[in-house]
Amino acid sequence: MTVAQAAGKVILFGEHAVVYGRPAIAVPVTEVHAQAQVEPGQVGQGVVLLAPDLGRKVVVRDAAQEDPLANIVRRTLDTLGREPDPDVTVTVTSTIPIARGMGSGAAVSTAVVRGLTGYFGRWLSSRSISELVYETEILYHGTPSGIDNTVVAFEKPVYFVKGQGWEVFWVGKPLLLAIADTGIESPTKEVVGDLRQRYEADPDRYLPLFDGVTEIVHSARKAIESGDMDRLGELMDANHTLLQEMGVSCPELDRLVVAARDGGALGAKLSGAGRGGNMIALVTEESRGRVDMMLRLAGATQVLITEVR
């Protein structure tokens, strides 16, 4: 039996604009993870994938081509040069909230790739895993930026530009983030698609917003590398304002942003697709408790504090 895991993630800066070739910054969230357990199956069963959290049992040989779970299994076995339907059982579990902008789909796929690779005694680079997972991300999100599979596969802070590449970079001072869940599912594919329609109908309105995000991301990387937390908080606030102007926030997210700032956060913004999902706030050891309390009073269904190094 082989067990493999993959962490969640949040986007710190650049969501939505990254789909249009602008940079973004994302970081892993190691407090939550997906896990894949791979073990021998019954003779003749082929690959069976169990997802008890979702109430699903996928017999890969019978699954549709567009089924993401079956897709990542098929692609991985093909990459490993294995027979297409070995008798194995893959059990997938996850503590990452679904449809909250935390990379649950990418983490599950990454865990499956790592699990199968280890079970068959092989090794794949983080880059190869990321590329495999990206193809499955298309099934989840339609036109993914590629940032989820990259940061989840490498488990490091990543500066990413779609179509141009990515860089792992280092933080000058650990970041303490409060991640607050609105309790509302955020359908990435739908939100991204809606913004694309609005952008195509009125590019002159949205291009300046994307350009503004680009400037924020560049400044944010400098602030992270130098450990300038005050400046980083200001940039989070500015990024949220632009996301509001793009029409991807919602009253629940905005309420949590205000609550975090009232609690003493250095800055706060939505993270991910928006219209639900999570809000992130930059906190300190001194403010983390009060921010946590304020977020819960403002309606957060869950608050997670994570440190990024």
The yes or no reply on domain 2-168 and CATH 3.30.230.10 is: yes
* Chain-centroid distance, C-alpha 247: 20
Q: List the catalytic residue out of 53, 85, 87, 148.
A: 148
Tell the CATH topology of 175-308. Alpha-Beta Plaits (3.30.70)
| CATH 3.30.230.10 segments of the chain | 2-168
Residues 116 and 62: beta-carbon distance below 8 Å:
no
User: d(Cα 241, Cα 213) in Å, to the nearest integer?
Assistant: 10
Helix, strand or coil, per DSSP, at residue 299: coil
Q: Which residues of the chain have pLDDT under 70?
A: 141
CATH 3.30.70.890 domain range(s) in the chain: 175-308
262 as an active site residue: the answer is: no
* pLDDT at site 250: 97
Residue from 144, 138, 177, 179 nearest 160 by CA: 144
Q: What pLDDT was estimated at residue 158?
A: 94
The backbone torsions φ and ψ at residue 205, rounded to the nearest 5 degrees and listed phi first, read -80, -40
| Closest to 166 measured CA to CA, from 9, 36, 282 | 9
User: Phi and psi for 262 in degrees, rounded to 5?
Assistant: -65, -30
pLDDT of residue 232: 98
Sign of the Cα torsion 8, 160, 183, 177 reads positive
Helix (H/G/I), strand (E/B), else coil: 26: strand
User: 0.95 cut: is pTM over it?
Assistant: no
